[in-house]
Structure 1
Amino acid sequence: MTLIELMLVMGLIAVMMGMGLGAFATLDPGRRAALGQVTSLLRTAHNTAVALGAPARVTLDRETGEILTVGMRVVGTWHFEDETLSGSDGIDGVFLGSGSLLDDDGFMGRGLSFDGAPAGARAEFPVQDDPAFDLTDGFSLEISYKPEHLVGAQLIEIGDAFQLQTTAGGGLSATLYRREVDALGQPRRGGRVGVQAGGGALRPDQWNHVRCVYDKRTLRLLVNGVPLASTASDVSVWNVEGPLLVGGGTTLPSGILDRLVLAVVVGSEKGVLPLGVDFT
């Protein structure tokens, strides 16, 4: 019996027994190994998500055959319900440069509004005092924003490590600062890695759920779950040496902000498919 005839017979048997054409995978050791590897990485991502109570992400690269799992842990959540600016993990904030900045028309309850506040007004959170706020290997930042006017302004700054800004016309811009080593082997804050989504990314007078994600592979901007812009990067992020600021720029955000969530990468695992096997 030829190989082709053998495969036909096995195919008929597989169909009759309800196994489907996946039975052919048993003929290929490379595919069996790949299946085991993918299954193991998916199991790792699932277990990490369950243990941390936070999402985990799996990325498949069809060009390189790489599989990357990234687990994240939420380290701070703020809903701006009262003047204490209390956070879910015990890091409370303060208003600087103005009185109360709370507005009753938040996404969930009250929100944060800079309308009528002087330049430089901000809500400040001392995250630099907590080692959990380590952005080195990546992070995810989310905020709900309902702009009234589409102006350029600083939304978020995290120490000397990260900035999220709006641009005129409803655009978004995110910038992180890389960790570098000088000639003496000492760490220093290096150059910037940035990504920008053009005008129209934000819709005025409605809630926009803005998210910026970095996993030492890609820096991405999403609005309402839709990817808008990304740039490739594998650098480590500089230390968080200052507080987390909402607002604080010369031009302040117009409208209302609410539901700020920051998560950091706490574990990742990479795998590569065997030669001759790819994602199809």
Structure 2
Amino acid sequence: MSLMELLVVISIMTIIAGVAVGLIRKGDKALTLDVNAKLVRSSLRLARNSAMESGVGAMVRIEPEDAIIASTVVERGGNWHFEDETGARNTRFSGGQFVDGGKLGRCLDLNGAEIDLGAYPWYEAVGGFAISLWISPAEAGDFTLVSRESSFSFKVTKDGALRAEISVGGEQRDRIELQTRAGLVPVGAWTRVRLSYDRLEAQIEADGVLRARKVESRPLLPNAPSHLLLGSAQDGFKGRVDELRYDIASQEQTDQLSSGVDFDPASDLVVRFDPQGRLDDRFHGKAVEIRIESDRSGEGDEANVETIRVELSGAIR
């Protein structure tokens, strides 16, 4: 074989090798994209199924910088209807007076009392919590509605505002505070109040309307065992309460996304499901789209793209 023929053969082999490497690289990009897309869909389905099974709700959070996707599983920590002294999971409490005229059936009439609802492992909130109840004040005053020792407190003020404090940890321990405007809780009328924290923000709601919020991502301060208290020995609520419910984010499943993909900045990186498995309409007014792209690893490369869509109904496509 002459030198010229050898050079031709080498050139052909180089071209073939280059094409092969390109095909392999392209195949790897497509495979990487497919694996990550399946992981995102799996996490969304896990959260949605959890929301429907628990009847509470669930959330999925994507953190592109750390390449993780976290599914928060929310569970019922406790609920009390105040028809009698029993609560969820056959727990019992004492104190207060059961009377007719509640929001739903009977209710608990407090007169500055403190009701200890116990300290149980299932009260422990890892990723967040939500506590809600109906209240009807007998008089105006600065009263504690419900609290969990060194974890959070939820209060009503004498001018009808709602105020909350939540203890958070991390590198710097702190206590975040938020308060609504006045006049939300009138004396002698029933108002549904709710305090929640999900490591994205703290929120106070009154009658289903968001009234105060504060952005915060630090974890809750560990505090086990800790008693859940209705009212307070120092400044206990004077009035009636009904339908107390305490939900906790008890566990968070975190999965590592593989390298080689990017998320479109316009993507929805936090997805919340309601207890029926639909998108929570308090946070989502339209379908959610998550757009995943493969890295452009070379000049002129085109990114492979896959769009994951969650309909308002909760259907994942």
Question: Normalised by the size of structure 2, how large is the TM-score?
Answer: 0.62
Gap regions ≥5 residues in structure 1: 1-28, 183-189
Return the offset for 1:93.
0.9
Distance 1:59 1:257 in 2: 34
| Counterpart selection for 1:81 from 57, 80, 83 | 83
* Contact 1:34-1:274 within 8 A present in 2 as well: no
Of stretches 157-166 and 195-204 in structure 1, the one that deviates more from structure 2 is: 195-204
Equivalent in the alignment of 1:245: 229
CA shift in 2, pair 1:222/1:60, >3 Å? farther
Return the offset for 1:196.
1.3
1:125 correspondence with 2:125: no
1:222 correspondence with 2:218: no
* Contact 2:169-2:219 within 8 A present in 1 as well: yes
Distance 1:215 1:39 in 2: 21
Return the offset for 1:123.
1.4
1:192-211 residue pairs with structure 2 within 5 A? 192-211=175-194
Paired amino acid for 2:88: S
| Counterpart selection for 2:102 from 106, 130, 154 | 106
User: What SS class does the counterpart of residue 89 from structure 1 fall into?
Assistant: helix
Distance 2:150 2:33 in 1: 46
Q: Which has the larger radius of gyration?
A: 2
Equivalent in the alignment of 1:150: 140
* Contact 2:139-2:187 within 8 A present in 1 as well: yes
CA RMSD of aligned residues (A): 3.3
In the alignment of these two chains, the number of paired residues is 232
Return the offset for 1:55.
1.7
* Contact 1:160-1:241 within 8 A present in 2 as well: no
Paired amino acid for 1:163: S
Distance 2:137 2:47 in 1: 36
Question: Normalised by the size of structure 1, how large is the TM-score?
Answer: 0.69
User: What SS class does the counterpart of residue 195 from structure 1 fall into?
Assistant: strand
* Contact 2:98-2:106 within 8 A present in 1 as well: yes
Equivalent in the alignment of 1:267: 251
User: What SS class does the counterpart of residue 228 from structure 1 fall into?
Assistant: strand
Return the offset for 1:199.
0.7
* Contact 2:121-2:225 within 8 A present in 1 as well: no
Equivalent in the alignment of 2:282: none
CA shift in 2, pair 1:236/1:122, >3 Å? closer
Gap regions ≥5 residues in structure 2: 1-29, 268-288, 290-317
Return the offset for 1:142.
1.1
User: What SS class does the counterpart of residue 165 from structure 2 fall into?
Assistant: strand
User: What SS class does the counterpart of residue 45 from structure 1 fall into?
Assistant: helix
* Contact 1:70-1:215 within 8 A present in 2 as well: no
Return the offset for 1:141.
0.8
User: What SS class does the counterpart of residue 202 from structure 1 fall into?
Assistant: coil
Q: Deviations over 1:15-49 (max 9, x none)?
A: xxxxxxxxxxxxxx899999766644432221212
Equivalent in the alignment of 1:52: 54
Return the offset for 1:165.
0.7
Equivalent in the alignment of 1:172: 162
Paired amino acid for 1:72: V
Return the offset for 1:222.
1.1
Equivalent in the alignment of 1:9: none
Distance 1:212 1:67 in 2: 26
Distance 1:206 1:32 in 2: 55
* Contact 2:72-2:127 within 8 A present in 1 as well: no
Tell me the percent identity. 23
* Contact 1:146-1:206 within 8 A present in 2 as well: yes
Q: Deviations over 1:131-180 (max 9, x none)?
A: 11112321111111122433210011212211111112111111122346
Distance 1:77 1:112 in 2: 13
Paired amino acid for 1:109: G
Q: Deviations over 1:163-206 (max 9, x none)?
A: 11111211111112234689xxxxxxx43122211212324333
CA shift in 2, pair 1:35/1:91, >3 Å? same
Distance 1:203 1:31 in 2: 55
* Contact 1:135-1:239 within 8 A present in 2 as well: no
Distance 1:227 1:148 in 2: 24
User: What SS class does the counterpart of residue 94 from structure 1 fall into?
Assistant: coil
Paired amino acid for 2:192: H
Return the offset for 1:59.
6.7
